[in-house]
Amino acid sequence: MMRVKKDYESLRNKAFTVFNTANKKKHSVIYKIEKDEWCCDCTWNSLKETHCSHIKAVIKKINSKKAEKLVKKLGI
Ligand SMILES: [Zn+2]
């Protein structure tokens, strides 16, 4: 399981820490707002062109938060 924690948000970046409870490893994920680009410090992300599981976990969390807000707004 991936635990996502938001570290900070600035005008240029959004930073998150992703903790993998399976192997107890932590990774730093940064979203560069201007470039619309995701970065992670894991080896997968530097080797492959695709998003690693840490970045995906952050995106998933953001999307589920957005969905929650929408549900509240619509009162479903
Ligand atoms: Zn990663």
**42 CA to centre of ligand 1 in angstroms:** 4
* pLDDT at site 75: 85
**Dihedral sign from CA coordinates of 57, 54, 3, 7:** negative
* In the predicted structure, residue 46 carries a pLDDT above the cut 80: no
- State the alpha helices, DSSP H only, in 7-76: 43-47, 53-74
- Whole-model pTM: value is 0.84
Residue 56 lies in domain: 2-74
State in Å: Cα 24 to ligand 1 middle.
13
Question: 38 C-alpha to center of ligand 1: Å?
Answer: 10
Give me the mean pLDDT over the 22-37 stretch. Answer: 95
Total of domains in the chain = 1
